[in-house]
Amino acid sequence: MKTIKRMMDHLYWADGRILDALEESETKNKDLLKLVRHVAVAERVWLSRLQGKGSAQYSLWEEAEDLTAIRTMFEENAEQYRVYIEGLEESELDEMVDYANQSGVPFRTSVRDILSQVLLHGQYHRGQINRALRFESAEPVQVDYITFARL
């Protein structure tokens, strides 16, 4: 549990750093904004599944106009994940969660694998965002775990 908690703390930190970089760049790139929104919504989708709720109401690939709304979503996600993780026992990590994906297809996945998906999915897309920032001649931001661990 200690490792998962630490990695989730990294996720919250990295989400904030990537948003700061996007705000600083003043990008108007709709694809880039759509991608960062996707990360926030995906975190919310997986959290809903972990909480035993449906996720069909969330659209993963909508346009995004405003980083403020995305930041709010990331902050709400972090708060709700913290509550969820604090109430989670080590023995519950291997419990299975039944859910339907956004297309309604049923799946069954362990809590451990869902949390791993959340952690890895965000880092993957933050890398894409940083690359796009570089193409826009903006400064990418360091979001590596080891940088976080040295704080």
Domain parsing of the chain, residue ranges: 1-149
Give the SS3 label for residue 138. coil
Q: Is 1.20.120.450 the CATH classification of the domain at 1-149?
A: yes
pTM of the predicted protein model:
0.94
Q: CB of 8 within 8 A of CB of 119?
A: yes
pLDDT in tens, 11-44: 999 999 999 999 999 998 999 999 999 999 999 9
pLDDT in tens, 61-94: 999 878 999 999 999 999 999 999 999 999 999 9
Helix axis angle for 30-50 and 111-135, nearest 10°, is: 170
Please give the backbone phi and psi of residue 105, each rounded to the nearest 5 degrees, phi first: -80, 130
Whether residue 10 is annotated as binding a ligand: the answer is no
- The rounded distance, in Å, linking the Cα atoms of 14 and 20 is 10
Q: CB of 17 within 8 A of CB of 148?
A: no
